[in-house]
Amino acid sequence: MAKHVLLNNVEHKDLRVITRRSAQFGDDVMCALTFPAEFRGVQAHYPIFFRKAADSGQFQPFAMFGLRDQENLFLDDQGWDATYVPMTIERQPFLIGFQPGAAGAGAERQMVVHVDLDSPRISRTEGERVFLEYGGISDYLGRINSILRAIHQGIASTPAFVAALLEYELLESFALDVRLNDGTEHRVAGFYTINEERLGALDGGRLEALNRDGHLLPIFMVIASLSNIRALIERKNRRLRR
Amino acid sequence: MLQIERKVRQLPAADWQARQDEFIAAGEPLLVKGLVAGWPAARAGLRSVEDGVDYLRGFYRDATVGAWIGGPEIDGRFFYDDDLTGFNYQPVMVKLGVVLDRLLQHRHDASPPAIYVGSTTVDTCLPGFREHNDIDLGARRALASIWIGNRTRVAAHYDVPDNLACVVAGRRRFTLFPPGEVRNLYVGPLHLTPAGQPISLVDFAAPDLQAFPRFADALRNAQVAELEPGDAVFIPSMWWHHVEALDAFNALVNYWWRQSPAYMDTPANVLMHGLLSLRDLPKVQREAWLEIFRHYVFEADETTAAHMPEASRGVLAPIDDATARELRALLLNRLNR
């Protein structure tokens, strides 16, 4: 259920947004869409995997928070236990919309901010004010604007990144078999990651091309992110002990 | 058609070319006969509709443009809807080639749909066109745009830049009014406009003098220019202009330039701020601010800050790039509350 409307400072003048992280606000998700420009922040805490979009069949990168659906092992009573939260989570309950430019002929379509009025984060009494008293933009909304812009540009850059991975056959499917301390076994499947062997076998010219196009750094960020799998399983085991 | 005695002063192209700067500085409207008569585009437009369309098509590279489409019932008059909360036409994004096809297709219709591609950057929609059809405006950084359509009317409005409009195909009639006629033109909403500029609500084809009696006064100060392919009209900044394209295929290329530094914003922003913060003050206070504005803005000259040491004049000194940036930061900061 979602009710997306164009954000404006008249109808939404009293709008506040609860920015606390909690399952009751929809943060109980196993993963979130990410993009190469934020891999540096994401890989500090979360494994990055690729998944095929159900509709388009395109590979998309995701930051992983849990081992099964609706499991976010970073969420606890205190909130979200990490210093970096992926932008597609941070943006909630706002999203990017587009509308035609001013009625003039030849106008470009403009990026605008939409808000999901059915989000549990929406409030009139608590949380961050979206607009200032007389309709100005609050620091919070200013930050949301930059996040939405970064997401828009970041997601637009993903297809070129994925195309480069496919061109050099660097993506391979990946199943994670986990045996937890209580003896139970879990299998996380349907994901793809970078094939390090093929990456290691690329010749200088190809590496240079990847580097020139800005793909090499995010490739290594994805590889580095895999060391977070261990920490993720450890979070799961800690939960079992409780 | 309106009875307007006064014709826009007409000038041979050679005179304009010899004294362009002088005419631009003078700020009076001029019809420059045959200024672009040598353009291949204008020669093609004069030969036939097909030739005019074909010539444009020679530069067409699949560009998508914004177009206005109105039903035959609007009779070419792009305007508001009945309650002035919307418009009587549809803005659409469409391939320029499709527009040209439709113009040809409807060229013999007695009451065709109104088709209009307004203010579209020439270099993006017809790359290479200006290599063969262009005007030398000296150091002015002019924006060249093309306007294509069938028989249409655009309501009287003003533009902030100076404008040199050159007819390439079809005849065009410009009805001009000096800036001071604003109160006699019955201007519509400021917040909802067809193309960014407020427009006169008067229907020039059938002016309703009961509803708009002062329009008769405006007409006494109006001037008309009728242009054929190859002719150009100079419309100084802020002059009201009502534009009629009179044939089944019309094309016009115009040049817009400002006589002010790029850091200056459109004064329309100042007007909006004036509505927010000045208009509703008690009359006495508003009159006081009128004096302040006269002193610091409208009648400012070298004496305004002459009593202060130069180093202390701040924003009262001539504005430069750095001062403009500081002022912008201050305004952004103060407005956001």
Burial of B152: CB neighbours in 10 Å, binned 0-12, 13-18, 19+? buried
% of chain A beyond a pLDDT of 70: 95
CB distance B65–A103 less than 8 Å?
no
| pLDDT at residue number A103 | 45
| pLDDT at residue number A189 | 85
CB distance A102–B196 less than 8 Å?
yes
End-to-end CA distance of chain B: 51
**Whether the Cβ atoms of residue B67 and residue B90 lie closer than 8 Å to each other:** no
- Please, what is the average pLDDT of chain A? 92
CA-CA distance, A182 to A241, in Å (whole number)?
A: 9
Indicate the residue of B87, B117, B336 with minimum beta-carbon distance to A105: B117
Return the closest-CA partner of residue B268 out of B187, B177, B191: B191
Closest chain B C-alpha to A5 CA, distance in angstroms: 20
| pLDDT at residue number B274 | 97
CA-CA distance, A199 to A217, in Å (whole number)?
A: 13
Q: What are the tokens at B125?
A: 């929609």
Q: Is residue A107 pLDDT above 70, yes or no?
A: no
CB distance A103–B91 less than 8 Å?
yes
CB distance B118–A104 less than 8 Å?
yes
Indicate the residue of A103, A133, A136 with minimum beta-carbon distance to B195: A103
Closest chain A C-alpha to B88 CA, distance in angstroms: 13
Q: Is residue B178 pLDDT above 50, yes or no?
A: yes
What stretch of H or E contains B101? Answer: helix B96-105
Return the closest-CA partner of residue B53 out of B254, B255, B248: B248
Contacting residues of A for B152, CB less than 8 Å apart:
none
% of chain A beyond a pLDDT of 90: 79
**For the residues B187-206, what does the mean pLDDT come to?**
96
CB distance A105–B335 less than 8 Å?
no
Preferred mutation among A9, A133, A134 to probe B, highest tally of B CBs within 10 A: A134
Question: Domain spans of chain B?
Answer: 10-257, 267-335
Indicate the residue of B66, B119, B337 with minimum beta-carbon distance to A132: B337
Closest chain B C-alpha to A101 CA, distance in angstroms: 10
Q: Any alpha helices (H) in B193-302, and if so which ranges?
A: 215-220, 267-277, 283-293
- Please, what is the average pLDDT of chain B? 96
Q: Is residue A104 pLDDT above 50, yes or no?
A: no
Residue written as tokens 């805490």? Answer: A45
**Whether the Cβ atoms of residue A222 and residue A60 lie closer than 8 Å to each other:** no
| pLDDT at residue number A171 | 95
CB distance A103–B120 less than 8 Å?
no
Q: How many CB atoms lie within 10 A of CB A95?
A: 17
**Whether the Cβ atoms of residue B140 and residue B20 lie closer than 8 Å to each other:** no
Chain B, nearest residue to A105 by Cα: B66
**For the residues B205-229, what does the mean pLDDT come to?**
96
Contacting residues of B for A139, CB less than 8 Å apart:
none
Chain B, nearest residue to A133 by Cα: B337
| pLDDT at residue number A184 | 87
Note the pLDDT tens digit of each residue in A147-206. 999 999 999 999 999 999 999 999 999 888 888 888 888 888 889 999 999 999 999 999
Return the closest-CA partner of residue B116 out of B165, B79, B150, B89: B150
CA-CA distance, A151 to A34, in Å (whole number)?
A: 8
**Whether the Cβ atoms of residue A150 and residue A34 lie closer than 8 Å to each other:** no
Closest chain B C-alpha to A140 CA, distance in angstroms: 13
Q: How far is CA B250 from CA B33, B83, B292, in A?
A: 18, 30, 48
Radius of gyration of chain A (CA): 20
**Whether the Cβ atoms of residue A93 and residue A86 lie closer than 8 Å to each other:** no
Q: What are the tokens at A234?
A: 């450890």
What stretch of H or E contains B332? Answer: helix B321-335
Q: pTM above 0.90?
A: no
Q: Domain B10-257 classified CATH 3.40.50.300?
A: no
Q: In what order do the strands lie in the sheet with B10-12?
A: B10-12, B30-33, B232-235, B162-169, B250-257, B143-149, B114-121, B64-70, B90-95
Chain A, nearest residue to B191 by Cα: A102
Closest chain B C-alpha to A108 CA, distance in angstroms: 9
Closest chain A C-alpha to B135 CA, distance in angstroms: 23
CB distance A106–B66 less than 8 Å?
yes
Note the pLDDT tens digit of each residue in B19-48. 999 999 999 999 999 999 999 999 999 999
CA-CA distance, B230 to B34, in Å (whole number)?
A: 5
**For the residues B108-127, what does the mean pLDDT come to?**
95
Closest chain A C-alpha to B58 CA, distance in angstroms: 20
**For the residues B123-146, what does the mean pLDDT come to?**
95
Q: What are the tokens at B134?
A: 């262009």
Cross-strand pairs, A51: A60
Indicate the residue of B87, B118, B335 with minimum beta-carbon distance to A105: B118
| pLDDT at residue number A83 | 94
Question: Domain spans of chain A?
Answer: 4-235
Chain A residues at the B interface, defined by Cβ less than 8 Å, are 100, 102-107, 132-134, 136-137
Indicate the residue of A103, A105, A132 with minimum beta-carbon distance to B65: A105
Note the pLDDT tens digit of each residue in B238-296. 999 999 999 999 999 999 999 999 999 999 999 999 999 999 999 999 999 999 999 99
Cross-strand pairs, B30: B234
Chain A, nearest residue to B125 by Cα: A106
CA-CA distance, B67 to B47, in Å (whole number)?
A: 26
Chain A, nearest residue to B69 by Cα: A105
Q: Is residue B123 pLDDT above 90, yes or no?
A: yes
Indicate the residue of B120, B335, B336 with minimum beta-carbon distance to A105: B120
**Whether the Cβ atoms of residue B45 and residue B52 lie closer than 8 Å to each other:** yes
% of chain B beyond a pLDDT of 70: 100
Contacting residues of A for B337, CB less than 8 Å apart:
132-134, 136
SS3 of chain A: the string is CCCEEECCCCCCCCCEECCCCCHHHCCCCCEEECCHHHHHHHCCCCCEEEEECCCCCCEEEEEECCCCCCCCCCEECCEECCCCCCHHHHCCCEEEEEECCCCCCCCCCEEEEEEECCCCCEECCCCEECECCCCCECHHHHHHHHHHHHHHHHHHHHHHHHHHHHHCCCEEEEEEEEECCCCCEEEEEEEEEECHHHHHHCCHHHHHHHHHCCCHHHHHHHHHHCCHHHHHHHHHHHHHHC
**Whether the Cβ atoms of residue B62 and residue B126 lie closer than 8 Å to each other:** no
Q: Which pLDDT band holds residue A106 (cuts at 50, 70, 90)?
A: very low
Q: Is residue A105 pLDDT above 50, yes or no?
A: no
Higher pLDDT, A241 or A43: A43
Indicate the residue of B66, B125, B336 with minimum beta-carbon distance to A104: B66
Q: Which pLDDT band holds residue A100 (cuts at 50, 70, 90)?
A: low
Chain B, nearest residue to A108 by Cα: B66
Indicate the residue of A104, A133, A137 with minimum beta-carbon distance to B119: A104
